[in-house]
């Protein structure tokens, strides 16, 4: 089955700086890669996703890049703000099957004022 | 509310108890999922239902028993649990199980087994 590795487990950045979270996956058949944000005590929420036929996708201050050859994808947050503090999870979905998403272990992003 | 409602929000049960978790979605989705979230571990997929048929059982112990009477409702029946089963249990739904559909999660049930 799919295995997703996520790094770092904790990331602390100064407010206004950029943050990058990286994930690798094992199943070359995976073709859908969403990112979820989970604030303390709340549910995970989808913030951006990318499909395997696209190399990059951007939505305001967040962007995701995908390298299918290397089997890794990354989340980029620019001009970080205090409300960006949360745990971020990457996930991968193997194409065509009835499996659910396989998630990474999460990255605790801390925005320092 | 995001359209996926889980009850109860918190549950404390003894190892010999029987209890059930409930999930309901009002999004018209066809697929529903149970995930377990423990500290320091990734979200672990437990069960997948598509059009109320179970399509995935991710090697979950039989003390967890899912039920999906229709596409809008999903239950997780619990019996003779162990302390290590204490976790946040999250329900999610999506338009389908095929790739490309994002999940909408419920708020979860925080389960403590004593």
| pLDDT beyond 70 at A65 | yes
Furthest C-alpha separation in chain B: 41
Least confident of A60-69, B49-58, B86-95: B49-58
Q: What is the pLDDT of residues A10-44, one digit of tens each?
A: 999 999 999 999 999 999 989 999 999 999 989 99
Question: What are φ and ψ of residue A44, in 5° steps?
Answer: -65, 140
CA distance A17 to chain B (A): 26
pLDDT of residue A86: 97
| pLDDT beyond 80 at A68 | yes
Q: What is the mean pLDDT of residues B32-49?
A: 90
Q: Which of A7, A40, A43 should one mutate to test binding to chain B, selecting the residue with the greatest count of B CBs within 10 A?
A: A43
Tell me whether residues A100 and B90 touch, CB distance under 8 A: no
Tell me whether residues B45 and A89 touch, CB distance under 8 A: no
B74 near B68, Cβ under 8 Å? yes
| pLDDT beyond 80 at B58 | no
Whether A31 has its CB under 8 Å from any CB of chain B: the answer is yes
SS3 A24: strand
The residue of chain B nearest to residue A37, with distances taken between CA atoms, is B105
What's the Cα-to-Cα distance from B86 to each of A81, B10, B22, B23, rounded to whole Å?
33, 11, 17, 18
pLDDT of residue B88: 96
Task: Please calculate the CA angle B22-B103-A51 and round it to the nearest 5 degrees.
Answer: 160
Q: What is the pLDDT of residues B65-104, one digit of tens each?
A: 999 999 999 999 999 999 999 999 999 999 988 777 889 9
Tell me the pLDDT of chain B averaged across its residues.
Answer: 91
Tell me the pLDDT of chain A averaged across its residues.
Answer: 93
The residue count of chain A comes to 113
């Amino acid at each position: 089955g799919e295995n997703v590795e996520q790094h770092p487990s904790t990331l602390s950045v100064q407010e206004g700086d950029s943050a990058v979270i990286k994930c690798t996956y094992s199943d070359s058949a995976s073709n859908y890669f969403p990112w979820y944000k989970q604030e303390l005590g709340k549910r995970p929420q989808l913030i951006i996703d990318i499909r395997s036929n696209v190399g990059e996708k951007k939505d305001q201050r967040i962007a995701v890049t995908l390298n299918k050859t290397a089997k890794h994808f990354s989340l980029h947050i620019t001009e970080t703000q205090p409300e960006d503090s949360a745990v971020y999870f990457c996930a991968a979905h193997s194409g065509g099957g009835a499996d659910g998403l396989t998630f990474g272990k999460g990255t605790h992003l801390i925005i320092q004022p | 509310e995001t359209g996926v409602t889980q009850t109860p929000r918190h549950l404390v049960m003894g190892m010999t108890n029987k209890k059930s978790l409930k999930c309901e979605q009002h999004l018209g989705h066809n697929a529903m999922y149970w995930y377990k979230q423990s500290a320091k571990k990734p979200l672990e997929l437990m069960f997948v239902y598509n059009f109320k048929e179970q399509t995935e059982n991710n090697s979950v112990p039989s003390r967890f028993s899912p039920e999906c009477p229709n596409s809008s409702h999903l239950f997780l029946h619990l019996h003779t649990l162990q302390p290590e089963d204490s976790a946040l249990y999250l329900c999610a739904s999506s338009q389908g199980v095929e790739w490309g559909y994002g999940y909408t999660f419920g708020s979860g049930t925080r389960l403590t087994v004593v």
